[in-house]
Structure 1
Amino acid sequence: MAGVHGGVGVSERAELAAQFETLVGEILRKYIKGADVSRNRKVDEQFGFVDLILSASGKRYAVEVKIFGDLHIPDFYLRDSFRQVRNCLAHGAFDYGLLVVSGLVSQAGRKTAERLSDRVLLLDLQDLLGMALQTGHQTILKNLISMLAPFSQIEPQPNISSEMPLELFHLERTLVENETDDSSETLLHSEEFKRQLNALRCGRASARSYENLIESILKRLLSAHLENWQSQVRSDTGMSRNDFVARVNSQHDFWSVVRDHFNSLYVIFEMKNYCDTVGQDQIFATERYLYRNALRNSAFLFSRRGLTENADKAAKGALREHGKLILGFNDADLAEMLDLWGSGDDPVIVMSQKLDKMLIEIER
């Protein structure tokens, strides 16, 4: 969209996701003898498309590839992703499902995964690196992961002891009875939020409705990372008001950077339902709300069309001169976050890559 600045574009993030998906297909094809892999095949009208279809040893596998902006994957994301693969199996002629994730799964997470399905297998980053050692893709895989999770402080090691994949593909596990499958419900919430956002008119008359909608969306998207949400917070002097404030409570790489490196135990959210792009005056106003000594040094500004070029420069200036972080998001960014959430991926990757781009581009 013309006039929108201040972050990694949707097309760039989509390209990273497509590159990872393609690389996973190449690793599987080369690692598994006689394997055939096809991309983006339609399952049926209700489910839509599956990322990859793997054919090997006379079996068909529905492969879902999930990207995350953090190398440590929370269990709740894992559950949502597993349910999506199970939903795919219910709608297509597949023998097994395979969930491939761009991060690391804990032992507890693996045990949870084993309980979730008798026909869905999990490959995390350690498994992929172990396979990539044998296929010659290790360097390109590590480089791609560094772009997907730019703030990770760990160096993932390959799993070289696994007997993946052919033996594990034929393991049968005990099916968990009465397991609620709510991945389709999450997708419906995502689509409904996008519908409401598209239907809401810009301008002063709808400003409060816009604030309420964005607050509802962000509480869904970020509930695992933020707590103690407070709306319409006034300062102790009564001279300023923030749309809402939340406290960081997360080990996610992005939120750890915000809390530990930008001195922000608390983060501010501002919503502007302007019909035009947001100008630099609004950035200067938001900057005045930020106060490092109060552990409130970061703000996220949501608007319909994003920032002007001058506003983007003002946000970079606030960071360069005062160490204050202000990131801008538009409707397209929010829609992408909803799409990621609806498909079981990590919506925070949009925020992470915006920060990554800002830090790379900023000048002295």
Structure 2
Amino acid sequence: MNTRNIGRSFEELVSALFEFNGFHVSQHSPTRPSAGRADLVLIFRGKIKTVVEVRVSRSRTANMHDLQRTAASVLVAKTEEGADHALIVTNLPLRNVPLSDALPKGVDLMGLEDLLQMAASDAILMGKLLDLDRELVSALKDFDGPTTDATSDRISLATFKELSSEPVAPQSAAPIKKGAEIAKDLLSIPAGRKKNATTASGKSGEPWQLFETFCQAALEHAFEGVFSNWQRQKSVGGDANRFDILAKVVGDDVFCRTLIEDFRTRYVLFEFKNYSEQLKPNVIHVTEKYLYPTALRATAIIISPHGFAPDSVRATHGALRDVGKLILDMNRDVLAELATERDTGTNPGVRMEAMLDTFLQQVGR
């Protein structure tokens, strides 16, 4: 299964499981732009309404920051939808979510155990669920990271149906907008060698400096719990030769484990190039010099408004083939989307894994 389609496939399967168990299911379609988010709307016994956010994880354990963001977002969607309940559904076993009871009141959580129970009497749905679970965790089988045996409060299907029989008192939640605000500023910075610019929030400065500032802010927000120990503007051979940010890999999802285990990367180099055109191969060759596999720094991600030119993409293929150095292209728009999506608890791991998959599949002879 294509990594980029896993989230959609999981959502469709969750929808089918609820329909099989007596719920009317429809897609959530907000009537106005909102910081609230939900994927599905459930109707039980013709009147009780639940908004559902479906979350795919490619790690063994839950990121509680993301769960709490998701909970805040789905509570906003619940209020806007006029729903009685809010629910998060994840593919993780809930034994790996030891702090699920730390979610705000009014938000329930279902995991793999509950989905297996929902599919128990239908061989086709059970087969699809097991196949999807196998696909989601297959890339982690080769890694040695442990799982936790901690128990957590969980909501079974029977319990959820019982709760769905009655509405609960409305809960309020403040939506998180930090990533969206950073993204707005980042996208407002003009590319190129202009002397001065002002961002959407009113911050002024030289565009290249603003670009670095808001790229770092977007990265630290979008990749919280994935990268840490951010180190900025270290000189390499003098001020004329320097990289922008170095970060340590700390996540346990497939993307992070692949960097650590397969690319000998514990530290990722981020470079910011606010160029008005696509990046040329010389940029790739300079970045390549700052990567040292023996120092566990074999990966770079270059962020720019317009991405790599075709011959630059070929240069990154050569760097990987010839010396084992991984250089990824991240368009500014993609970084803005990752920062915005993190506001509602979307972890960047699935998208980064898809980006890496695409890159590796394109490497030629």
Query: Shorter-chain-normalised TM-score: which range?
Result: 0.7 to 0.9
Q: Is the 8 A contact 1:151 1:254 kept in 2?
A: no
Q: Is the 8 A contact 2:75 2:172 kept in 1?
A: no
Q: Is the 8 A contact 1:298 1:325 kept in 2?
A: yes
CA-to-partner distance for each residue in 1:239-271, whole Å, 9 max, x for gaps?
Answer: 831111112223233212212221112110011
Match status 1:37 vs 2:25: yes
The 2-side partners of 1:153 and 1:290 are apart by: 28
Structure 1 residue 140: deviation in Å? Answer: 4.1
Q: Name the % identity.
A: 27
Q: Which amino acid aligns with 1:66?
A: R
- Please name the residue that 1:230 is paired with: 231
5+ residue gaps, structure 2: 148-153, 165-170, 195-206
Match status 1:64 vs 2:53: yes
Q: Is the 8 A contact 2:219 2:335 kept in 1?
A: no
Match status 1:198 vs 2:187: yes
Matches within 5 A, 1:235-246: 235=236, 240-246=241-247
Alpha-carbon RMSD across the aligned residues, in angstroms, is 3.1
Equivalent position to 2:9, from 8, 11, 19: 19
CA-to-partner distance for each residue in 1:298-356, whole Å, 9 max, x for gaps?
Answer: 10111111112221121122112211111110023113212321221112322121112
Q: Which amino acid aligns with 1:20?
A: F
CA-to-partner distance for each residue in 1:152-183, whole Å, 9 max, x for gaps?
Answer: 33799xxxxx98313334359xxxxxx9944x
Match status 1:282 vs 2:283: yes
- Please name the residue that 2:313 is paired with: 312
CA-to-partner distance for each residue in 1:63-119, whole Å, 9 max, x for gaps?
Answer: 111233434321221121122222223333222221112434445x35x33343443
Which stretch of the first structure deviates more once superposed, 18-27 or 314-323? 18-27
Q: 1:274 to 1:69 in 2, by over 3 A?
A: farther
- Please name the residue that 1:4 is paired with: none
Structure 1 residue 17: deviation in Å? Answer: 3.4
Q: Is the 8 A contact 2:280 2:312 kept in 1?
A: yes
CA-to-partner distance for each residue in 1:113-165, whole Å, 9 max, x for gaps?
Answer: 33434432212234334434544234544555677677433799xxxxx9831
The 2-side partners of 1:266 and 1:45 are apart by: 38
Structure 1 residue 57: deviation in Å? Answer: 2.8
The 2-side partners of 1:149 and 1:301 are apart by: 29
The 1-side partners of 2:281 and 2:355 are apart by: 18
- Please name the residue that 1:164 is paired with: 156
SS at match of 1:121: strand
Q: Is the 8 A contact 1:62 1:89 kept in 2?
A: yes
The 2-side partners of 1:241 and 1:143 are apart by: 47
Matches within 5 A, 1:66-105: 66-105=55-94
- Please name the residue that 1:353 is paired with: 354
Which stretch of the first structure deviates more once superposed, 286-295 or 89-98? 89-98
Give the TM-score normalised by the residue count of structure 2: 0.80
May I ask how many residue pairs the two structures share in their alignment? 335
Q: RCO (CA 8 Å, sep 6+): is it higher in 1 or 2? A: 1
Which stretch of the first structure deviates more once superposed, 263-272 or 231-240? 231-240
Structure 1 residue 36: deviation in Å? Answer: 0.9
Q: Which amino acid aligns with 1:67?
A: V
CA-to-partner distance for each residue in 1:20-70, whole Å, 9 max, x for gaps?
Answer: 32222112112x13x210013326665666311111234211111123343
The 1-side partners of 2:92 and 2:268 are apart by: 26
Which stretch of the first structure deviates more once superposed, 285-294 or 147-156? 147-156
SS at match of 1:170: helix
Q: Which amino acid aligns with 1:343?
A: T
5+ residue gaps, structure 1: 1-7, 157-161, 173-178
Q: Is the 8 A contact 1:333 1:350 kept in 2?
A: no
Q: 1:300 to 1:47 in 2, by over 3 A?
A: closer
The 1-side partners of 2:120 and 2:213 are apart by: 49
The 2-side partners of 1:142 and 1:287 are apart by: 42
Q: 1:360 to 1:138 in 2, by over 3 A?
A: farther
Match status 1:54 vs 2:46: no
Q: Is the 8 A contact 2:118 2:157 kept in 1?
A: no
SS at match of 1:21: helix
Give the TM-score normalised by the residue count of structure 1: 0.81
SS at match of 2:29: strand
The 1-side partners of 2:318 and 2:117 are apart by: 43
- Please name the residue that 2:270 is paired with: 269
